[in-house]
Chains A and B, each alone.
Chain A
Amino acid sequence: MPPDTAIEVSALRKHYGPTTAVDGLTFTVAPGKVTGFVGPNGAGKSTTLRMILGLDAPDSGKALIGGRPYATLRDPLTVVGALLDAEAVHPGRRAVDHLLWMAHYNGIPRRRVTEVLEQVGLTSVAKKRAGGFSLGMRQRLGIAAALLGDPQVLILDEPVNGLDPEGIQWIRGFLKSLAAEGRTVLISSHLMGELQDTAEHLLVIGRGRLLADTDVGELLATTSGNRITLRTARLPEAMTVLAREGATVSANAPGTLTVAGLPGERVVSLLTEAGIPFSEISAHRASLEEAYLELTRGATEFTADTAALETS
């Protein structure tokens, strides 16, 4: 039987001075899939991850990995691999040495250093000093460090940050394959779009509170509702006709209408009867971005208009 490798967080709370960073978080991250941890900047994601890793002490509540606090793990790098800050490398140390000291700390054999460098595609720069690395390369080095102990649990804070498009493609596939092997994979991001096609499950937080703990498919279905989109050159007439029949109509792009509250056949017949030409009628599919905006509305720490007030 595989070891229990779920991450359990219960009633976790943390404040810094007058600011409450994490306000009673409770969730479980299951093994075998990629779980996305999303929220606006300042929502408390990194603080939560640091508390899971025993780096910051919570005011109350607890965080367990496989039923145990991180601080009680023996050779923790072989149980949990984490990337918290890609900049956390000494600029004067070679990439291979950066991994070597970590390996020594937990009695991990030296050959793992070679293997993970190979896995993240840094073999050719292994003997170069990390000070000359681009953010993308540091990100890869950070991921290599997380993989060093071949851990069953991976916790990556903003792993996509700074990667080039090829790197983004690579990490998506890579994380999915790690989850498919039965590992627990938790990745955070402040951009929901980054998690589209990668995460199966989502934990959405805002201002330190859990806003949603949901399956990606379910979330999309809820946000999409029973809506229909279509294109027409005669927007105002089409809106009048449809609204008269009780539909909620919105024009969110030039020449494009989103209709809620009427079945597709009814929309087609109403527009045909009124002699309004239209095309590209389809069921509306919300993007994760939309779903996220809906969830985090009002939970954003810094919004555009408060920023404007501060600069005026």
Chain B
Amino acid sequence: MTGALHGEWTKLRTVPANLWTLLALPAVMTALTALIAAGTNPQEVSPDPTALALSGVYFAQLAAVAVAVAVVTSEYHPRLILLTLSASPRRTTVFTAKALTVTAAVLLAALPGVLGALLAGRSAQHGTHQLPLSDGSLQRAVLGTVLYLLLVALLSVGIALAVRHTAAATGTVLALLYGPYLATQLLNMSTHTLHLVQKFSPMTAGLAVQTTTGAGTAPLAPWTGLAVLAAYAAGALAVGWTLLQRRDA
């Protein structure tokens, strides 16, 4: 297992595109959050200044998806998987090494990203009432956003293992994340349907973890929402693992 981890980590860090994408995550997250927060009217009271200070995640998650998908699909075009599975015929080892490598890499990018966004978002919303940094719900929102990014990355690993194609995998993940959200924006639906969609869509449910003002509109409790996303990620990983076991290389 140590060897496989060392090998997978080496694979990830020796492709410059992966490093740039990982670097883009904190950069985009911080910059975008600052822009969004600065664009809000200081006279209006934001419903949830903390969630707003972390809103760059809507865009920054693309970097997590891109790296996670690339780590898997780069095995298939061209077929590096032949070499990987020759080096480690135990496919569960390869699966675990890939999932852990992606988790570690996204964690390294998400920590500065989330903290940077929080600070940038708070200073951009000058004049509004902010929760103190020691506040429990604020800390939960911060930790939860980091976990959200990790779960999105693991969801991507699972889907990429199943479809084995970069465009198809990225498309599937993005449809799953943004599809229901766009539907709620574009379609006229009853509050009941709206809440149902929000409860079961991985992005909206997962980001419920960012709510710090009890009056929020999210139909799910913060950790429950993140658990919904975790269930999606676990399901995708299970499918990906099964197919990796069953299929010819």
Beta-carbon contact of A84 and B11 below 8 Å: no
A92 surroundings in chain B (CB, below 8 A): 15-17
Instruction: Let me know if B217 is at the binding interface, CB within 8 A.
Output: no
B residues at A contact (CB < 8 Å): 3-4, 6-8, 10-11, 14-17, 74, 78-80, 82-90, 248-249
User: How far is B11's CA from A102's CA once the two chains are assembled, in angstroms?
Assistant: 9
Q: Which of A57, A84, A93 contacts B14 (CB 8 A)?
A: A93
Residue contact A105 to B3, C-beta cutoff 8 Å: yes
Knowing A89-B80, A92-B15, the reply to whether A76 touches B87 (Cβ < 8 A) is yes
Q: How far is the CA of A101 from the CA of B80 in the complex (A)?
A: 12
A70 and B6 in contact, given A55-B82, A89-B78 (Cβ under 8 angstroms)? no
Report if A77 contacts B (CB, 8 A).
Answer: yes
Q: Are A88 and B89 in contact (CB under 8 A)?
A: no
A203 within 8 A of partner (CB): no
Cβ–Cβ < 8 Å partners of B89 in chain A: 54, 70-73, 76
Given contacts A76-B86, A90-B15, contact A85 B249 (CB under 8 A): no
CA distance A92 to B13 in the complex (A): 11
* Contact between B7 and A101, CB atoms less than 8 A apart: yes
The reply to whether B74 and A106 form a contact with Cβ atoms under 8 Å apart is no
User: Shortest Cβ distance from A47 into chain B, in angstroms?
Assistant: 9
Asked, given contacts A57-B248, A87-B78, whether A93 binds B15 with beta carbons under 8 Å apart, the answer is yes
The minimal Cβ–Cβ distance linking B247 to chain A, given in whole angstroms, is 9
Residues of A within 8 A of B (CB): 50, 53-57, 70-73, 75-77, 80, 82, 84-85, 87-90, 92-94, 97-98, 100-102, 104-107, 145
Chain A's nearest CB lies how many Å from the CB of B249?
4
The residue of chain B having its C-beta at the shortest distance from the C-beta of A53 within the complex is B86
Residues of B within 8 A of A84 (CB): 82, 86
A85 touches B11 (CB 8 A): no
Task: Name the one of A93, A98, A105 contacting B87, with C-beta atoms under 8 angstroms.
Answer: A105
Report the Cα distance A90→B76, complex, angstroms.
10
The answer on a CB contact under 8 Å between A55 and B10 is no
- Interface pair B248/A105, CB less than 8 Å apart: no
Q: Report which of B11, B79, B88, B248 forms a contact with A88, defined as CB distance below 8 A.
A: B79
Chain A residues near B74: list those with CB within 8 A. Answer: 90
Assess the B14–A101 pair: CB atoms within 8 A. Answer: yes
Min distance, Cβ A45 to any Cβ of chain B, angstroms: 15
